[in-house]
């Protein structure tokens, strides 16, 4: 059967301290969901390819939520652009949605300058936390219901040191708005295993052993997972595959399996890039491909793409060839977030800014790990992001009738929801090895 592929995001946040009590008891967990296996999630082929595209649901956001969504989307692209400028490997993949949910959940335990810096980075300073929480709740509801032929889910958990008292108000907010499970736990190897097991099961085995250790002063670990599964809305088979060559960013030739697609699609071409997209499921989700022109710097092409608000204005017959590829990244986002003005939460001027506990704490680091697989069936992606919190230690052109777009050299891509343009993943493929 021609199955859809999967996107997964796991975010982890950690506050620091230690204790020897190894008991783990959940606090106000939501109702148990029916256990699902990956195989049980796939629709039957006749349901996938013969059903009309009538089940797509546009995400209903009110005026405030629409404004927040636009700001968050802008933040997502700026985050990726800055990451691309600093990248050290050939390939790069980020999940801005995962990071956004993690930071906004965290904001419910912040106040003062720490809170305002994060809101300012997102461009949402004029909104109250109630507005931001409602936006996340409505967005997640909409993402889950947008496509009956795709699957989106998100889960959150908070793990805190069991000899501390977490503020009831914080627990209530993250439970209500983010459906977070809250666990008092000893920050031991056993808890480390429990956190990894939690993320593993919430992502259907796509995230494995992401968190490798807990520092002796760990206070809290906050985890968000996002899971997306979609398949191309039109059926591609092995007949759509050819042998090809991909020239990587170092100019070296790599053998590649190219997926060939011809059809009518929205398309953009200018002096900096070409861009088109392929649709998943009932068209509620899409994967955009952005190919810099050969004489354009990739960063310049990306910057131009970010500025172009009417990217999909040309409806053309497109001959698109894209490679099968697997990729991923693991990076510390500490310096990246600081470059975006988020600094005080790492070293609070006023310890009371961190309002989850009575004890002083600060954000230590933010780590994200991602992976993706793209082929003729669809796209499978996974990400994990960890915020580590520590005791405050004082450390610091008009296209032709037929557009030809051959992704035989480095390109950008994103997986997004189409009615809000919310990016789940944004990536750069500099090599297909």
In a domain, 35, yes or no: no
In a domain, 33, yes or no: no
356 burial (CB, 10 Å; 0-12 / 13-18 / 19+) is: buried
Number of Cα atoms under 13 Å in the Cβ half of residue 253: 4
**Which CATH number does the domain housing residue 127 bear?**
3.30.497.10
**DSSP letter assigned to residue 373:** E
**Which CATH number does the domain housing residue 274 bear?**
2.30.39.10
Distance of alpha carbon 129 from alpha carbon 74, whole angstroms: 19
- Note the pLDDT of residue 56: 66
In a domain, 32, yes or no: no
Say whether pLDDT at 312 is over 60: no
Structure tokens at 345: 């939460």
Task: Specify whether the backbone of 179 is left (phi greater than 0), alpha (psi in -120 to 50) or beta.
Answer: left
The answer to whether residues 181 and 252 belong to one domain is no
Beta bridge partners of 231: 378
State whether residue 8 is helix, strand or coil. strand
- Note the pLDDT of residue 311: 56
The answer to whether residues 170 and 254 belong to one domain is no
The answer to whether residues 252 and 211 belong to one domain is no
The answer to whether residues 266 and 142 belong to one domain is no
204: Cβ–Cβ under 8 A, 6 or more apart, which residues?
6, 8, 36, 37, 38, 41, 227
Runs of H (alpha helix) within 230-356? 298-307, 334-339
What value does the CA radius of gyration of the chain take, rounded to a whole number of Å?
A: 22
Distance of alpha carbon 331 from alpha carbon 371, whole angstroms: 12
Distance of alpha carbon 286 from alpha carbon 312, whole angstroms: 12
Distance of alpha carbon 9 from alpha carbon 286, whole angstroms: 17
Confidence band for 246, pLDDT divided at 50, 70 and 90: very high
Structure tokens at 110: 């912040």
Say whether pLDDT at 205 is over 70: yes
pLDDT of 357-385, one tens digit each? Answer: 877 777 766 767 676 778 777 765 655 55
Distance of alpha carbon 86 from alpha carbon 63, whole angstroms: 35
| Residue among 177, 183, 205 at smallest CA distance from 41 | 205
The answer to whether residues 112 and 226 belong to one domain is yes
Least confident of 70-79, 85-94, 230-239, 344-353: 230-239
Whether 13 and 223 have beta carbons less than 8 Å apart is answered as yes
Runs of H (alpha helix) within 108-253? 112-122, 129-145, 168-178, 189-202
Q: Kindly report the average pLDDT of the chain as a whole number.
A: 80
Residue that wins the pLDDT comparison between 317 and 49: 317
Whether 74 and 123 have beta carbons less than 8 Å apart is answered as yes
Number of Cα atoms under 13 Å in the Cβ half of residue 153: 14
Beta bridge partners of 371: 328, 382
The answer to whether residues 171 and 244 belong to one domain is no
The answer to whether residues 255 and 338 belong to one domain is no
Secondary structure (DSSP) of 36-102:
--HHHHSPPHHHHHHS-S---------HHHHHHHHHHHHHHHHHHHHHHHH--SS-EEE-HHHHHHH
pLDDT of 348-359, one tens digit each? Answer: 888 888 888 877
The answer to whether residues 119 and 256 belong to one domain is no
Say whether pLDDT at 243 is over 90: yes
395 burial (CB, 10 Å; 0-12 / 13-18 / 19+) is: exposed
The model's pTM is 0.83
- Note the pLDDT of residue 202: 85
Percentage of the chain beyond pLDDT 90 is 44
Would you tell me how many other CB atoms lie within 10 Å of the CB of residue 60?
Answer: 12
In a domain, 413, yes or no: yes
182: Cβ–Cβ under 8 A, 6 or more apart, which residues?
26, 27, 28, 29, 157, 158, 160, 166, 171, 174, 175
The answer to whether residues 114 and 54 belong to one domain is yes
Least confident of 127-136, 366-375, 413-422: 366-375
Give me the number of domains the chain comprises. Answer: 2
In a domain, 116, yes or no: yes
Distance of alpha carbon 121 from alpha carbon 174, whole angstroms: 21
- Note the pLDDT of residue 340: 93
| Residue among 156, 11, 179, 154 at smallest CA distance from 95 | 11
- Note the pLDDT of residue 365: 64
What is the domain extent for residue 204? 5-27+41-231+326-390
pLDDT of 11-25, one tens digit each? Answer: 544 433 222 233 333
In a domain, 34, yes or no: no
**Residue range 159-168: average pLDDT?**
88
Helices 129-145 and 63-86 cross at an angle (nearest 10°) of 80
Say whether pLDDT at 9 is over 50: no
pLDDT of 100-129, one tens digit each? Answer: 998 999 999 999 999 999 999 999 999 999
Distance of alpha carbon 433 from alpha carbon 257, whole angstroms: 11
The answer to whether residues 74 and 208 belong to one domain is yes
Confidence band for 315, pLDDT divided at 50, 70 and 90: confident
- Note the pLDDT of residue 14: 42
Say whether pLDDT at 5 is over 60: no
């Amino acid at each position: 059967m021609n199955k859809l592929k999967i996107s997964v995001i796991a975010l982890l946040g950690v506050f620091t301290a230690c204790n020897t009590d190894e008991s783990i008891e959940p606090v106000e967990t939501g109702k148990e969901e029916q256990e699902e296996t990956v195989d049980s999630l796939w629709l039957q082929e006749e349901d996938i390819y013969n059903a009309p595209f009538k089940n797509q649901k546009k995400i209903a956001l009110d005026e405030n939520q629409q404004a927040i969504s636009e700001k968050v989307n802008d933040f997502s692209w700026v985050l990726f652009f800055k990451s691309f400028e600093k990248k050290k490997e050939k390939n790069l993949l980020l999940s801005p949605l995962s990071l956004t949910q993690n930071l906004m959940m965290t904001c419910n335990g912040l106040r003062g300058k720490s809170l305002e810096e994060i809101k300012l980075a997102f461009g949402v300073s004029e909104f109250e936390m109630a507005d931001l929480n409602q936006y996340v709740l409505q967005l997640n509801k909409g993402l889950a219901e947008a496509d009956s032929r795709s699957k989106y889910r998100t889960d959150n958990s908070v793990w805190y040191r069991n000899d501390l008292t977490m503020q009831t108000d914080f627990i209530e907010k993250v439970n209500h708005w983010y459906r977070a499970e809250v666990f008092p736990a000893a920050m031991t190897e056993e808890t480390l295993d429990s956190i990894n097991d939690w993320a593993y099961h919430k992502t259907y085995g796509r995230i494995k052993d992401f968190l490798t250790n807990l520092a002796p002063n760990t206070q809290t670990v906050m985890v968000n997972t996002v899971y997306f599964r979609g398949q191309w809305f039109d059926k591609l088979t092995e007949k759509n595959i050819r042998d090809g060559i991909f020239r990587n960013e170092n100019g070296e030739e790599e053998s590649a399996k190219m997926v060939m697609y011809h059809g009518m699609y929205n398309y953009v071409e200018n002096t900096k890039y070409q861009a088109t997209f392929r649709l998943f499921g009932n068209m509620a989700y899409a994967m955009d491909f952005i190919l810099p022109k050969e004489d354009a710097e990739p960063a310049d092409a990306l910057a131009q793409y970010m500025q172009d608000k009417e990217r999909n204005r040309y409806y053309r017959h497109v001959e698109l060839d894209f490679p099968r590829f697997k990729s991923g990244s693991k990076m510390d986002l500490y310096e990246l977030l600081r470059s975006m003005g988020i600094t005080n939460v790492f070293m609070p001027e006023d310890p009371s800014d961190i309002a989850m506990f009575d004890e002083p704490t600060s954000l230590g680091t933010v780590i994200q790990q991602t992976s993706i697989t793209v082929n003729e069936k669809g796209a499978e992606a996974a990400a994990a992001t960890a915020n580590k919190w520590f005791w405050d230690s004082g450390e610091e052109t008009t296209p032709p009738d037929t557009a030809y777009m051959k992704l035989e050299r480095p390109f950008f891509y994103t997986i997004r929801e189409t009615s809000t343009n919310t990016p789940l993943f944004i990536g750069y493929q500099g090599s297909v090895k």
